Structure formats: structure tokens, C-alpha cells
Amino acid sequence: MKRYATLFLTFAWMLCIQQAYSQHKFTINLNDIADDQFKVTLEPDGLSAENDIFQFAATAPGTYQIMDVGRFVRSFTAFDKGGNTLETEQISTNQWKLSDPVSTAKITYSIAETWDTPVPEHIIHFMAGTSLENDHTLINNQAVLGYFHGLQSHEIWIKLEYPDQWKHGSAMTMNDEGYFTAPDYDFAVDSPILLGRLSTASIDVEGTKIEVYTYSKTDMIQSDSILKDLEDILFAASKFTEGLPVDRYVFLFHFEDLDYGAWEHSYSSEYVFKEAPMDEQRTQTLRSVVAHEFFHVVTPLNIHSELVEEFNFEKPVFSQHLWLYEGVTEWSAWMMQLRNGILSLDDYLKECTKKMMINDTYDSTVSLTYLGENAAELQTQYSNIYMKGAMTATMLDLLLLSESKGKRGLREVMIELTEKYGPSTPFPEDQFFDIFVDMTYPEVEGFINDCIKGTKRLPVKEYFANVGIDYQEFAGYDSTNVSIGIGLTVNSQQKIVITQVNDQESPIMAGDVIDKMNGVEISLANAQQEINKIHSMKPGDEIAFTMIRNGDEVELKAPLKAHRITHQFRIEEDVKKKKMKLRKKWMTNL
């Protein structure tokens, strides 16, 4: 009896080992790209009858947009072990149903790259999409891979077939069999891959290995020069977080024909910018974006809700705590530069002025929590999270500093939250505000209700006065500069949309789409250039617009007016000792 028990236990142990190392194996052919489609072969492991739905992503974490990746699938075929075709059926935009999952031994499908595949709506952000070219490939895995219902947490192996001379960069590592490995679908999506004619560089930042991979269309921009420009930002971030909470971090840079932005991940971030000489302005823009994206190693990696921990790729469910993930992160990106001497206090306050001016162009009736929960439908308002969200975090920091008498601010509370939760423990979505108040002070609850859940104006003057900085919401007019008094954003069709109109007499309306400006057709590529021409005009001059309003063309002329001077900060030098002491605390990592 003992011998049989031993044999049984040995068999059970072997079975557990086999199950622990089982995986779905994807192979992606990057050599056959003539039709701009990824050719994917999937060898699934141990499907049951319950795993009969193969799901492509409807959205992805951190994008706050509808993706519907199934729109890009061009073929989908299942086979049994004998190579016989098994019936499949597309039952929705993003779902394919297998007739016999238990017998399914292989699935092949082709899926178009997103960059060069036009779609009528819900255009996938370039930094979150895919590019398939002769000298490089960008893969965001949610735009190429899917998963079986019930097996989102199943291990995934990814083999890429590509030219021998190519290099690759990813937060995923490659095993001895040549596969990138991910413990589950979520991790694979969290780990984009850049391959091709890449330059590379690396540095150690207080125990964290930082790797940079760069594709530059004409090799104008190299990884070592980027790393040199970013080095002080990386060390500032490490000091701000009391050591980076990751052992390895990967930057993926793509420089070609378009300025678009970046997408953060837990162990990497990815950037899509136009290839052009890295002058002072472009370098500063890149540094600012990197400072933001890099800080996401704290949020949401170490501080996130259950909605992020168990992400729903099938049906978008967005978190009310966007203010935390993006607003606090944007605040951190600028505050860590101030506290490490990269920015002067005057420059930091100029950034605050800019954010508040831009905030004025958005809908003031949209609260931060409402914006988070409805981000997909509020794309024209979404970018305000980097303005209003960051300034809200600034106010919260000043409030915490005041209530603690200079002992702790928002940075210190964020570090406490990191220690309380970390990568594997999410906070409850609906209880986080209560948790935050319990960890801090009763006065914080009123601020949350007023300025995060509510839409009350931020107490900028009151809070900045505590550190000896004067603030004026309106400070007169500047007749040497002009303003048209509108807010702009980019919609899902890559068109420039009016978000808000500050001048009640203006013929422009919120929701108008700019088709032409002074006879020039406006696109994402030339919008900044054409809009900047306003600065060479004077008060009283008019701009001729062709707008698309409710589907119809509307011709109108909008007059320019003298620029209103708003949101001005002044550093008070002669202040009471108490305020000066608190200011020094505010500018220090406590």
C-alpha cells in the first residue's frame, strides 16, 4: 500500500510539474510581410470544452480607448492533430468560437498592422498599435495576440521569426528555446516588443538596469545620446521613490514620420516621435514625457485597483482613479525635477501656469472620477487629466504638507501606499478614498469630495499662500499677444476638435472639427505649425475657418483678441519664517 501511495504521489508531482510548465505557444512570422499582415501560428495547450472562445482585445490597460482588435483579423483557421480543419465561427467583432476546442491542436490567423490599416472609427493610438516594415517591427501584443476564455492567466510563449541581423528589445526575456515568455496574457500585453535596425545602450541606476532600444529612420538619433539626455531624470526618479521598485526597465523609442506620444507599462515604456534633430525644445519635450512615463513604475505597477489587477480585455471597465494613475504621475514627473535641481522654482511655477491655462479650455463640469470612469466616451476631455489631474495632485501635496506641519506630503504617502500594496496586492476600487483618508487627515476627505469627486475650483491661492507663493487667477491683458480663446484636442479620427470656447461672442462652438484654417487643410501633421501662425497676428485680425459641425461644413471668421494674463504665480521673498520653512520642506524629498 505504501509503494502504491509513493507511486501515486510521484505521478501527481510529475503532473503538477508538467502543468506548471505548460503554455500556449505563439509563432509570429516577420519575414513574410508583403501584405502588411502578421502571420500567427498558435499551438494551444490542453483546451477544454469551456475554452471555446478565442478573444481579441477590445481595449488595453492605460489606453482608455476602444480598440476592437478583431477588426484587423483577416483569416482564422483551427486544425486538429492530423492537420484536418476544424470549424470556427466569428461570433462578434473580437471573438471566434471553436467547434471542438478539445481536439484543437493548432490555430493559424493573419492580422493586419494598425499603423497602415485605415479604420473608420476608434483609430488605435500609434504608440499602442503595430508597425510592420522591412527594417523594423513594433508589436504591442494586445494588437496581435488573443487568449482563450478561462485562460487569460495561462502562460504564453512567443517566438518571432525575423531577419538575423535584427536586434530586439522588450521587458520580456527570451528562454533557451528562443521564445519570449510571459506568465499570463496580461504580462504579455504589458510588454511591447521593438525589433529591427536598432541602436542600444544601458546604464545602472542605483541597482536598476536601464536599457534603451531605438529605431531611427535614418539613424539620426542613437540610444546612447538619448540615455545621456535622460540620465539626470532617471536618477531623480530613483531618489524620489527611494530606489526604483524594479530590477530592470526598458525604453523603446521609435523615430520616423510622426509625433504621437508614449504608452507606459510596468517594466517598460514606448515612444513614437518624429525623426528630427534633437534641438533643445525637442530634447526637453522628450525628457518631460519620459519623466512621466517612467514614474508609472509606482502607479499602476505598485499602486492599483482590482480593475487593473484583473483587467477586462473583453469589455472595457475603466477606473475612477485615473486621477491617481495619470494625474499624480504627471505631478511626480515635474516635482521630482524641482526637488533635484533640474528645474528652478520659477520654471516649475510656469509649468503650473501652463497646465491651468490649458485646463481652462476643457469642460469644468467634468469631475476627475467621472472622467476616469467614462474615459472612452470622453476622448475630447481626456487630456485634461495631465492638466487638472496634475494640479489637483499639487494641491493635495500642499494640503498634506500643511496638515502634517511639514512632516509628510503626497510623495511620502505614495511610498507608504507602495509598501502597503505593491505589485501583487490591489486596493479595492470603491474603498480607496476611505483608505487614503484613514492614512492621512480628516481634512483630506473634504478636498476629495470637492475637487476629485466634485468639480469645485481648486484652492490654488489658499494652498500656495502657505508656502509663501502668491497666485492671481486674472492679472490683466497683454496687447502684444493674441488669443482666440479655444481649447483643442485630437479625436479618434485624428482630427483637431474644439473642446471649449471661452469667448461667448465667438462663432466657434465646442465640438467643431477644424477642416481648414485660412484656406489650409488641417491635419495632425501640420496642426501645430498652422496654429502657431496666430502668434504673428495682432488683436482685431480674423482667422477664416472651415469647420465640420454635425456633419456639415460651416464657414466662419473668428477675431483675435488681446491675450488675457491668467494664473500668475509670484515667489514672495519676504515671508514669515513659518511659510519659508514649509516652502523648503515642500521642495525637498522628506
Domain holding 127: CATH number? 2.60.40.3650
Cβ atoms < 10 Å from Cβ of 569 = 18
The pLDDT tens digits of the residues spanning 458-468 come to 999 999 999 99
Bridge partners of 254? 215, 272
| Residue where a domain stops, chosen among 288, 321, 351 | 288
Same domain, 49 and 137: yes
Q: Check whether 13 has a pLDDT greater than 80.
A: no
| Pairwise CA distance, residues 392 & 463, whole Å | 11
User: Does 169 map to a domain?
Assistant: yes
Beta carbons within 8 Å of 559's beta carbon, 6+ residues apart: 540, 541, 542
User: Does 318 map to a domain?
Assistant: yes
Same domain, 282 and 358: no
Same domain, 434 and 551: no
Same domain, 64 and 157: yes
Cell matching residue 103: 481536439
Residue with more model confidence, 6 or 223: 223
Helix axis angle, 280-294 to 329-339, nearest 10°: 120
Please report the beta strands in 164-230, taking only residues with DSSP state E, as ranges in sequence order.
167-170, 173-174, 180-182, 193-196, 198-205, 208-216
Label each residue of 301-316 as H, E or C.
CCCCEHHHHCCCCCCC
User: Which is nearest to 173 in space by CA: 203, 211, 230, 134?
Assistant: 211
Residue with more model confidence, 510 or 242: 242
Interstrand relation of 173-174 and 180-182 (parallel, antiparallel or unpaired)? antiparallel
Same domain, 579 and 547: no
Same domain, 48 and 180: yes
**pLDDT, mean over the chain:** 92
Question: What pTM, to 2 d.p., does this model score?
Answer: 0.87
| Pairwise CA distance, residues 145 & 127, whole Å | 17
Same domain, 144 and 27: yes
Contact of 108 with 98, CB cutoff 8 Å:
no
User: Does 11 map to a domain?
Assistant: no
Contact of 520 with 529, CB cutoff 8 Å:
no
Helix, strand, coil tally for the chain in percent (to 5): 35, 30, 40
Could you give the 3-state DSSP secondary structure of residue 185? helix
| Residue 231 main-chain phi, psi, to 5 deg | -55, -45
The pLDDT tens digits of the residues spanning 455-510 come to 999 999 999 999 999 999 987 777 777 777 787 877 767 788 888 787 778 899 88
User: Does 8 map to a domain?
Assistant: no
The pLDDT tens digits of the residues spanning 333-355 come to 999 999 999 999 999 999 999 99
| Pairwise CA distance, residues 183 & 186, whole Å | 8
Same domain, 59 and 203: no
Q: Residue 389 sits in a domain of what CATH number?
A: 1.10.390.10
Burial of 465 (0-12, 13-18, 19+ CB in 10 A): middle
- Per the structure, the count of domains in the chain is 4
Residues in the chain: 590
User: Does 294 map to a domain?
Assistant: no
Contact of 179 with 209, CB cutoff 8 Å:
no
H or E segment to which residue 54 belongs: strand 53-55
Between CA 20 and CA 26, with CA 22 as vertex, the angle to 5 degrees is 140
Q: What is the DSSP string of 256-322?
A: ES---EEEE-SSEEEEEEE-----HHHHHHHHHHHHHHHGGGTTTTTS-BHHHHT--SSS----TTH
Same domain, 382 and 499: no
| Residue where a domain stops, chosen among 238, 260, 288 | 288
| Pairwise CA distance, residues 386 & 326, whole Å | 7
- Cis ω for the linkage preceding 300 (within 30 of 0): yes
Contact of 297 with 359, CB cutoff 8 Å:
no
Dihedral angle of Cα 478, 481, 482, 486, to the nearest 10 degrees: -80
Q: Which amino acid is at 158?
A: I
The pLDDT tens digits of the residues spanning 160-219 come to 999 999 999 999 999 999 999 999 999 999 999 999 999 999 999 999 999 999 999 999
Residue with cell 492614512: 439
Same domain, 218 and 330: no
| Residue 394 confidence (pLDDT) | 98
Q: Check whether 16 has a pLDDT greater than 80.
A: no
User: Does 322 map to a domain?
Assistant: yes
Same domain, 35 and 145: yes
Residue 361 Cα to chain centre, angstroms: 22
Same domain, 426 and 323: yes
Q: Check whether 34 has a pLDDT greater than 60.
A: yes
- Residue 452 to residues 215, 389, 456: CA-CA distances in angstroms? 40, 9, 9
| Residue where a domain stops, chosen among 174, 196, 218 | 196
User: Does 44 map to a domain?
Assistant: yes
Range with the poorest average pLDDT among 73-87, 369-383, 404-418: 369-383
| Pairwise CA distance, residues 500 & 510, whole Å | 5
| Pairwise CA distance, residues 405 & 589, whole Å | 15
- Residue 503 to residues 388, 472, 477, 483, 506: CA-CA distances in angstroms? 21, 20, 15, 10, 5
pLDDT band of residue 18 (cuts 50, 70, 90) is very low
Q: What is the percent of the chain with per-residue pLDDT over 90, rounded to a whole number?
A: 77
| Residue 22 confidence (pLDDT) | 58
Q: Which amino acid is at 54?
A: F
Between CA 32 and CA 39, with CA 38 as vertex, the angle to 5 degrees is 70
Domain that holds residue 533: 485-559
Beta carbons within 8 Å of 254's beta carbon, 6+ residues apart: 131, 136, 138, 194, 214, 215, 270, 271, 272, 273
- Helix segments in 177-279, DSSP class H: 185-189, 223-240
Q: Check whether 131 has a pLDDT greater than 70.
A: yes
Between CA 110 and CA 315, with CA 35 as vertex, the angle to 5 degrees is 40
pLDDT band of residue 3 (cuts 50, 70, 90) is very low
